[in-house]
Structure 1
Amino acid sequence: MQRKAFIQTQHSPPTSAPLQLEALFMTKIAANQPKLNDETPVELQEMAAAIEALPARYRDAVAPALARVVECSTRRRRILNLVQEALSQLRLDMKYLIFDLEATRRERDQYKEMLEQDGRL
């Protein structure tokens, strides 16, 4: 019985050509669709939804441009996040440097006062 099922699945008739074309077309559409996520601006998500509602010929014409816009937007957001992190780190480094400079000045003033008390200056 299992052998018969195996033979039937191995020799099943090929899918019809329209189904193969539809599968190929859907794969092509999925490849052109932009990768939308939670970080994608709401306006771009709305635009993507509007483009999805268009007829196929218009959607196919506009989808690559939308994909590029979404990609650029995502890249800009990543760059902005990196710059913000770098600025935060720079601010923290500046605070440490100012603290160190003030401590060095206090030490200098203390040593200077000690030398004046000893009569060396």
Structure 2
Amino acid sequence: MNTKSTISELPTLELPAELTEMQEAIDGLSTETKLLLQPLFQRVLESTNRRRKILQMVQESIGQLRLDMKYLVFDLEATRRERDELQRQASDFSDEEFGPDAS
């Protein structure tokens, strides 16, 4: 089993200082203890990276949702303006054709 530091094998993601300190502490232990703790530490690193990726995906999704909401609000406002203009035109047409009392 490889007892080399796994931090250098990870992608270039910035690790929390606590994990770096933990890896350094594990590296300073006896080989037997290191072999016992290294797989557990690797799982912690993988879990940390997985959580970061999930958080990044959630943040991107929220950003996209905000943008989509802005487009929807803009579209709704444009639709309301169009509706109001058509109602005004229909009212004007009705007044011209039938007089103001023929509602």
TM-score interval, normalised by the smaller of the two chains: 0.7 to 0.9
- What does 1:4-15 correspond to in 2, within 5 Å? none
Alpha-carbon distance between aligned partners in 2 of 1:61 and 1:87, rounded to the nearest angstrom: 40
Q: Highest relative contact order (Cα 8 Å, sep 6+), 1 or 2?
A: 1
2:61 equivalent in structure 1:
86
Match of 2:3 among 29, 34, 44: 29
State the aligned residue count: 94
Q: Deviation per CA, 1:64-87: give whole Å up to 9, x if none.
A: 000000001001100110010001
Query: What TM-score comes out, normalization by structure 1 length?
Result: 0.70
- Work out which of the two has the higher radius of gyration on C-alpha atoms and give 1 or 2: 1
Query: What TM-score comes out, normalization by structure 2 length?
Result: 0.81
1:8 equivalent in structure 2:
none
Q: Which amino acid aligns with 2:3?
A: I
SS at match of 1:39: coil
- Percent identity (aligned): 45
1:76 equivalent in structure 2:
51
- What does 1:1-121 correspond to in 2, within 5 Å? 28-30=2-4, 33-34=6-7, 35-36=9-10, 37-119=12-94
Which runs of 5 or more structure 1 residues have no equivalent in the other structure? 1-24
SS at match of 2:86: helix
Question: Would the aligned equivalents of 1:51 and 1:59 in 2 still touch at CA under 8 Å?
Answer: yes
Residue 33 of structure 1 deviates from its aligned partner by 3.0
